[in-house]
Chain A
Amino acid sequence: QKEVEQNSGPLSVPEGAIASLNCTYSDRGSQSFFWYRQYSGKSPELIMSIYSNGDKEDGRFTAQLNKASQYVSLLIRDSQPSDSATYLCAPNSGYSTLTFGKGTMLLVSP
C-alpha cells in the first residue's frame, strides 16, 4: 500500500514569512515528485516537479528531495495571502499513477 503523509494543518504564517511544507512517502520506487496547489472548490494546479535529490528553485518556490529519507518538501518564500490554499504532494512510482497525500492547508495572514 503506497502511502503519502502530509501534516493536514492548517499551517499559519504571516505575510512575508517562509512557509515550509513537508511530505513523506512509503514507495521507494518513486522516481518523480510533484507539488500541486489547490484552492477551495478548484482543481489542483501543478507548481513544482522534482526528479533528483537536492533542491530545485522556481521563483518563490523551492522543492527539496531526499530519496534516502523518502522525504520531499516545498518552501515558499515571501508568502502572500494569495498562497493560502491546500498543497498536495504526489510521488509517481511509475506506471503513471500519482499517489496523492491529503494535503496541507496553508493560511497566510496579512
Chain B
Amino acid sequence: EAGVTQSPTHLIKTRGQQATLRCSPISGHTSVYWYQQALGLGLQFLLWYDEGEERNRGNFPPRFSGRQFPNYSSELNVNALELEDSALYLCASSQLAGVGEQYFGPGTRLTVT
C-alpha cells in the first residue's frame, strides 16, 4: 500500500512570493492534515481537511490556506512568504476523522530567502 506522498521535496522561494505544496493521502483516507515543523519549535498543527471541507485550523495567519480536491488530495498555499516560514511542511492522512491514527508523508522542505 502506497503511503502519503508530497511534492515537491524541496522548494526555495524569495520573501514575498507564494508557495504551493501538494499532498496525496493513503488510498481510502479522507482526512488530510498539514503541520509545520520549524527548527526548534516542534510540530505545529496548520490545517485539517475532510471530505473537501476545512474542519479546523491552527494558530496561523490567513496567508496560510489550502484546499482538498474530490480525490482527497490537498494543497497548501502560503502567500506573502516571510523568512520565518522556512520549515519542513508535513502532510498526514487518516482513515477515521477525529480520532484516527495519522500517517505522515516525507515532507516538503521550504526555504525562504
Contact = CB atoms under 8 A, between A and B. Distances in A.
Interface stretch (A17-25, A38-46, A73-81): A38-46
B98 A95 contact: yes
15 contacts: A36-B104, A43-B88, A88-B43, A92-B99, A96-B33, A96-B55, A96-B94, A96-B99, A96-B100, A97-B48, A97-B56, A100-B35, A100-B44, A101-B42, A103-B42
Given A95-B98, A96-B31, A43 B104 contact: yes
A33 to B, nearest CB: 10
A99 B105 CA distance: 18
B101 interface: yes
A94 B45 CA distance: 13
Contacts of A96: 31, 33, 48, 50, 55-56, 94, 97-100
Interface of A: 31-32, 34, 36, 42-46, 49, 88, 90, 92, 94-103
Please report whether the interface of chain A is mostly helix, strand, loop or mixed according to DSSP: loop
Contacts of B56: 95-97
Given A45-B104, A98-B43, 10 more contacts: A31-B99, A32-B99, A43-B88, A43-B107, A88-B43, A96-B55, A96-B100, A97-B48, A97-B56, A100-B43
